[in-house]
């Protein structure tokens, strides 16, 4: 059975920002940066919407509400990203990965079909402007990142019900001067999907899906603590149980967002195409 070191495949502090943005009172987070005007906050809100791609029964009404989620402070987001990029990221208690399985007949062919679909979708969007015109939105475009997610929220909604390799939830780009270079795609699945269901989408003998778990949302008045060097709250926090979270007055979320997997379809071999490490490397020194 093929094994890979387990590595954190998403920016955990940035995901904390997203989760805070989805809290009903998270407008207070925007207040951390009083210099920002209303228009910039509205722009941030649009950029952050739609990242909870987890529900099978998400209605069109709920989907439309995603674009109205309150934003958060650009300064706070920048601090979160800076903190992440200077911290070694191994799999921790807030990260759940699917287990690698023994290969079974048909797995390689199914995986090849996914790569073919990913390559076809990606080839269409080598020019990022085409992605924007087709409904993909840049997540936090003004925040310096090593890898940018261009997310199509309608495809995210559809992915909660069925899997289409030619309609990835997100396109992955690296900044290249004033341009963007496409390097891969991201697929999503419902948070309540079983490993067998994930295996049906992409064989678990080939790919590892990941999810973000055991998050304690900070209570009002403690949200700044998320950005500290030794936080209790959030996806980089020390709190990992509901008991601890309740004791601190927080809100415990067993799993935020759905399952995710990255595919780099233009790489030369399966190990690079399905690399778990590459995403982590893109957020590390």
Residue 261 banded pLDDT, cuts 50, 70, 90: very high
| Confidence (pLDDT) at 132 | 97
What letter does residue 90 receive in the DSSP assignment? Answer: B
Domain ranges of the chain: 12-281
Across the chain, mean pLDDT equals 74
For 271-284, the pLDDT digits (tens) are 999 988 775 554 43
For 99-138, the pLDDT digits (tens) are 999 999 999 999 999 999 999 999 999 999 999 999 999 9
Average pLDDT, integer, range 19-44? 37
Alpha carbons 109 and 105: distance in angstroms, whole number: 9
| Confidence (pLDDT) at 30 | 32
For 161-174, the pLDDT digits (tens) are 999 999 999 999 99
For 197-215, the pLDDT digits (tens) are 999 999 999 999 999 899 9
Buried b (16+ CB within 10 A) or exposed e, 152-175: bbebbbebbeebebebbbbbbbee
For 57-84, the pLDDT digits (tens) are 333 333 333 333 223 333 333 333 333 3
Which residues fall within 8 angstroms of residue 162, CB to CB, at 6 or more apart?
Answer: none
Alpha carbons 163 and 155: distance in angstroms, whole number: 10
Cβ atoms within 10 Å of 47's Cβ, excluding its own:
20
């Amino acid at each position: 059975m093929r094994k890979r070191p387990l590595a954190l495949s998403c920016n955990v502090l940035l995901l904390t920002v997203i989760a805070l943005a989805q809290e009903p009172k998270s407008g207070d987070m925007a207040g951390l940066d009083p210099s920002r005007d209303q228009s910039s906050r509205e722009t941030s809100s649009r950029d952050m919407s739609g990242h909870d791609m987890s529900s099978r029964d998400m209605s069109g009404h709920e989907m439309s509400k995603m674009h109205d989620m309150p934003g958060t402070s650009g300064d706070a987001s920048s601090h979160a990203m800076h903190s992440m990029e200077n911290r070694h990221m191994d799999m921790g208690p807030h990260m759940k990965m699917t287990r690698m399985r023994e290969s079974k007949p048909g797995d390689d062919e199914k995986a090849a079909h996914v790569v073919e679909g990913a390559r076809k979708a990606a080839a269409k969007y080598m020019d990022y402007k085409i992605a924007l015109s087709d409904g993909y939105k840049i997540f936090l475009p003004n925040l310096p990142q090593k890898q940018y997610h261009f997310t199509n929220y309608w495809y995210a909604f559809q992915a909660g019900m069925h899997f289409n390799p030619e309609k990835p939830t997100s396109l992955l780009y690296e900044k290249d001067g004033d341009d963007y270079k496409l390097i891969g795609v991201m697929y999503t699945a419902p948070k309540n999907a079983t490993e067998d269901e994930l295996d049906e989408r992409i064989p678990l003998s080939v790919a590892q899906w990941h999810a973000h778990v055991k998050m304690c949302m900070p209570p009002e008045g403690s949200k700044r603590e998320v950005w500290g060097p030794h936080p209790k709250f959030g996806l980089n926090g020390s709190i990992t149980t509901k008991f601890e979270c309740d004791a601190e007055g927080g809100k415990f979320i067993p799993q935020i967002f759905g399952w995710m997997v990255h595919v780099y379809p233009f790489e030369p071999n399966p190990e690079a195409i399905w690399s778990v490490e590459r995403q982590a490397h893109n957020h590390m020194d």
